[in-house]
Amino acid sequence: MIGVFDSGVGGLTVLRALLDRIPNADYLYFGDTARLPYGSKSAATVAHYAVGAVRYLQDQGAELLVIACNTATALALNKIKAAVGVEVIGVVEPGAEAAAAASRKHKVVVIGTEATISSHAYRRALEARKVAVREKACPLFVPLVEEGWVEHPVTEQVAKIYLSEAFSEDARDADVLVLGCTHYPLIKPLLRRIAPDHVTIVDSAESTAQDVARHLGHQLKSEPLPSSAETKSGRRGVPKLKFFATDSAQKFRKMGTRFLGLPVEDVLHVDLKE
């Protein structure tokens, strides 16, 4: 049983990647939707919230924990690891490792939320691998994605401005773009069109799923996800998915289905006591 934690629904892109890579596992997903965004909170508060959530997942039977939230990984990974008795994998190190491997010029651009970029977690991870880094906060992307504007002209214009600033001056010849936020895979096709042709895009959600698969000793599988009809039939081999949300279960179902690309049905409202 794999537990996936995020501050909201963005981490469902990590769950989607995990389902692609490890379709024969069962999953628990915890979205702390009542207390998002984490990006504006202090490191101590993020750690407090995240530790409570991952302990809940462990109590529900999670045998391995994936911290799908870039902010929680950047600000609180060590405290999370110290608080639980199972293996914990965050999104920053796998993303940095994949970016370093993909970059021939040893120059990388990382985009993310204000909190993730301000933490410099990706910078530290990449510089430890002898890679030069340009960091760029893109705060408008999350609300645009949550609005469903993944192919909207406004989102395209915003992306053009962000990427032109990111790939400027000494970062003009950077050859890798790291998506350092779990919302960004939804606009990956748009970013691919706008980013310079020589740039490889590294999705930290996919990198994390690959890391989890390696950790579990699974061979990476390219078989497609089950259709919604197959999921509803409950046929053998379809993973069990259970979701926990600290805010409206109905709202989580609606937005979650868009992020996961599969029906989000079994959602339990959880009230974590302070």
User: What is the spatial order of strands in the sheet that 200-203 belongs to?
Assistant: 132-137, 107-112, 176-179, 200-203
d(CA 63, CA 54): 11
d(CA 99, CA 143): 26
Q: Which of 166, 181, 241, 245 is catalytic?
A: 181
69 catalytic? Reply is: yes
- 220 by Cβ neighbours in 10 Å (0-12 / 13-18 / 19+) ranks as exposed
DSSP notation for 58-73: HHTT-SEEEE--HHHH
d(CA 74, CA 77): 7
**Alpha-carbon distances, residue 6 vs 38, 87, 252 (angstroms):** 10, 16, 13
Q: Which of 14, 22, 50, 69 is catalytic?
A: 69
Annotated catalytic sites, by residue? 69, 181
